[in-house]
Amino acid sequence: MKKLYKISLISSAFILGACDQVKNFSDQKKQELVAKLEQKMNEKMRELTEQEEQNAEALYIAIRDKDVATIEKLLEPQAYQEMQDDETALLELSSYIPYYDPLLKKERISFGNQYYVGEGHFVIATYLYDYGKSQNRYTVTFRADQTQKNIAGINIHRTFYSSQMKFN
């Protein structure tokens, strides 16, 4: 009976030691995985290139002018197809951009890098177009690892101001 007790005690100690080693191994692997993911995220984080800035501006103008050929050239195929599938998308987006109002100011107001599970890394920039009576917030999204520099997505949000509520 004493031998059985010793054997069970030794085997319990061995099992606990093995579990502790597995836990330490698991923690170490977790830390390595997190470090690799952080490194990949840092590699993907970047600024917009000059070409991407130009493409963003060209797309804004192409939407205003309803220039379908330029829009197709600048958007990723999937984004262009989504716009084509919605018959009112181009009409709605172009209606937000004043054709005759003078542009008083254009500036980039935010910038960031995002990661979406299943989609990948993106570079997102938002511009403010100020026309005096209204402002547009124009957001463009590029794939961070993309070499073609086509735009993956856009959004235009228009805000109207009355003459009493104009902020400088």
Express each pLDDT in 27-57 by its tens digit: 777 777 777 666 665 555 678 888 999 999 9
Residue 147, pLDDT above cutoff 70: no
Q: Which two tokens stand for residue 123?
A: 């570079």
How far from 17 is each of 5, 9, 10, 21, 30, CA to CA, in Å?
18, 12, 10, 6, 20
Closest Cα partner for 153 from 55, 19, 38? 55
> Where do the domains of the chain lie, and which CATH numbers do they carry?
50-160 (3.10.450)
**CB contact set of 91 (below 8 Å; sequence gap of 6+):** 66
Please state the pTM of the whole predicted model. Answer: 0.68
Express each pLDDT in 78-131 by its tens digit: 999 999 999 999 999 999 999 889 999 999 998 888 877 778 888 899 999 999
